[in-house]
Structure 1
Amino acid sequence: MLIEDGENSRDCAFRKPEAFRCCYSAAVERYPAMMRAPELGLQEQYVLLAMDVTFTVDHIAFDTKWVDIGVAATVLFQLWRNGRVSLEEGRVKPRGALYVGQTDLDALIVRLVQNDPPFESRGINSWLLRMANAEPHKAVLEGLAHKGILSRTKRKYKLVLPEARNRIIERLQRVIREGDPADEQTAALVGIADASRVLETGELSGDSSEQAARVEALGKTVVPVVAAVRTAVSEKKLRDSLTYFYYLGGGTLVALLVAKCSS
């Protein structure tokens, strides 16, 4: 069905993102029940939150280089809360089929399970890092494009419905800065975003001790996942540093350090 409003119509979305926003706003006024914003999964909210929108670019950028660890954490949290895995003794133990309900992301999980059988049962940190290596944020971006929140040209994505991101920011600002109560998903989003360094920059950054205390308290509600994210980020930083040092000519020392850490 083509939704029209005077000279504007929804087919213009394929030509100009600005026109899409105009059409969308007009359609919301005329068809509020039909044009409600699509529901977003935790992983989609996290990716939108992590986007860097401080300057105009022709493609998506992120405020943190740990975004894939964060996406992996949102997946693990959902699997855990839905009873599909347990997180006992620091390990991920499957209890059923692993899926979160987003086609592209679920396909990625299936590939990981098929190509790397130990993936299903690993230490939590190892699970996060293994999934992060598969760059799951790309699957989430594709899902957001399917929902009309992003546009896609070849392999580049652009935010065309900033209202979706703004609603997330506004909700988290009320929780973090004003102390509004948070549901479990919001608490998980805050905890994972904080652990993966998303809250250090952007609209939610701040050095208030009261704000920091609220963020810490929210993170404690999802302790197994948030703690693992912090460890995974630290481990990834160490690996990246060792790799950089190796290419600078310190290969022998790096090999000794790796052997020492593995013993």
Structure 2
Amino acid sequence: MPATPLDQPASEQSQALFAALRDLHLRAGEPSTRTIAAACGRGVISHNTVHKVLVGPRLPRLEQLLTVVAQLCGDAQVFRELWIAARQAEGGRTPEEAPPPPERPQPPPRDTGRLRLADELFLLVHHPRHGRPLIGAELLGIGLVGAVLAELWLEGRLTVEEGRLTPREAQAEDLVADHFLRSMSSLSQEPHPEPWRWVTVFKGESARLVGQRLAADGLITRERGLSYLLRPEVRCPPTAAGIGRSPTVNLGRHLLDERTPPDVQTAMLAALVNLLDGYRTIPLGLRAADARRRLIRLSAGLGPEARVLTAAVDTAIVKIALLPRL
């Protein structure tokens, strides 16, 4: 029976995209759609959606495509360009089954020339050449949760009142923000969880989610390899674009010139780096005690809402460090 238009991609450009996806999936060892969906994190993408992304025939949403590509360690920029070509070949049509997104209040405008807080922290605590984390996995996960929560607060998507964190929206276009907001909205209940408990909820998946966002933006690559102990690991070396937008320069400038008052995001970054003992990752030649003093001074002007978030990170670190290692 000849294929109908709905049984195959509509254009040569779409066919090229799905052919590249099949090749990427094969090179990754052909993991199942359930395996891919589970590796992306709870609630990020369903295995049915992964299947539709991989086999079509309809063009997937760009966000869904890049999520799957990042998990398979593909080149986000290459697949972004393939998707754009396929989209243009379709005349920019919206898929028939996709209703227009509902209008909702927009967050306050952010500095689009600067990386988000969690992206900055991620780059700071990974080696600038081979991309291995410079701090332990638990500390990395905890710190990135704190950074994402601070992002949501800075963008007006999360309120901090009376020591409670309350999402103001139930979804977002950004992959990381959407996952946090959806999960917090579904898990919130009375009495409200203490802020540090949200850190422990998300700590196991925050590094993967933020890494996927950076890969989708073309700022890092995700490479499978072996650790020093010959265990499988995923390294995240920065691309040329990632190196060019490294937060080290901005944070280092504030650390060396203490007369310049920092903005809130820089002060939050300094606080998180200090809590994670990440001062060793800043190549400024400062002694440890001097680096910590400068980080503390840089974050001293944070207000009470920001301090609720940093206290949540600090409490989570203490409680996890005190757990018995069985």
TM-score tier (shorter): 0.5 to 0.7
Within 5 Å, give how 1:12-161 maps onto structure 2: 39-53=114-128, 57=130, 60-65=131-136, 66-94=139-167, 96-97=168-169, 102-103=174-175, 105-110=176-181, 112-113=183-184, 116-118=187-189, 121-133=192-204, 135-153=205-223, 156-161=235-240
Which residue of the partner structure matches residue 314 of structure 2?
A: 230
Bigger shift: 184-193 or 84-93? Answer: 84-93
SS in structure 2 at match of 1:181 = coil
**Which residue does 2:250 correspond to in 1?**
171
Report which of the two has the higher share of helix.
1
Cα distance in 1 between the residues matched to 2:172 and 2:114: 14
Question: Over residues 138-169 of structure 1, what are the superposed CA-to-partner deviations in whole Å (9 max), with x where a residue is unaligned?
Answer: 11111111222112356653322275366411
Q: 1:137 to 1:85 in 2, by over 3 A?
A: same
CA distance in 2, matches of 1:192, 1:140: 16
Rate the CA distance shift 1:153–1:73 in 2: closer, same or farther, 3 A.
Answer: same
Match of 1:259 in 2: none
Residue 33 of structure 1 aligns with which residue?
A: none
- The runs of 5 or more residues in structure 1 that have no matched partner are 1-16, 21-36, 248-263
Over the matched positions of the two proteins, sequence identity in percent amounts to 21
In 1, the alpha carbon distance for the partners of 2:165 and 2:317 equals 18
> Structure 1: how far apart are the matches of 2:280 and 2:118?
19
Structure-2 change in CA distance of 1:233 and 1:211 (3 Å)? same
Note closer, same or farther for the CA distance 1:86–1:115 as it changes in structure 2 (3 Å cut).
Answer: closer
Separation in 2, partners of 1:205, 1:100: 40
Q: Tell me the alpha carbon deviations over residues 37-89 of structure 1, each in whole angstroms, 9 at most, x when there is no partner.
A: 96421111110011124xx54xx321122111111111111222333333233
Q: Structure 2 matches for 1:182-201, cutoff 5 A?
A: 182-201=262-281
| Paired residues of 2:218 and 2:242 also in contact (CA < 8 A) | no
Per-residue CA distance 1:10-45 (angstroms, 9 max, x = gap): xxxxxxx9xx9xxxxxxxxxxxxxxxx964211111
**Kept after mapping to 1: 8 A contact 2:142/2:316:** yes
Task: Provide closer, same or farther for how the CA distance between residues 202 and 215 of structure 1 changes in structure 2, counting only shifts above 3 A.
Answer: closer
Distance between the aligned counterparts of 2:296 and 2:315, measured in 1?
16
CA, structure 1 residues 91+84, in 2 after alignment: closer, same or farther (shift >3 Å)? same
Gap runs ≥5 in structure 2? 1-74, 79-111, 225-233
- SS of the residue corresponding to residue 97 of structure 1 reads coil
C-alpha change, 1:129 and 1:49, in structure 2 (3 Å) is same
For the residue of structure 1 that corresponds to 2:169, the secondary structure is coil
User: 1:218 Cα deviation (Å)?
Assistant: 2.7
Secondary structure of residue in 2 paired with 1:127: helix
Q: Is the counterpart of residue 181 in structure 1 residue 261 in structure 2?
A: yes
Closer, same or farther in 2 for the Cα pair 1:211/1:159, shift >3 Å? closer
The DSSP-based 3-state class of the residue aligned with 2:222 is strand
Superposed CA deviations along residues 113-134 of structure 1, whole A, max 9, x for unmatched, are 476344994211111111113x
Number of residue pairs matched by the alignment: 201
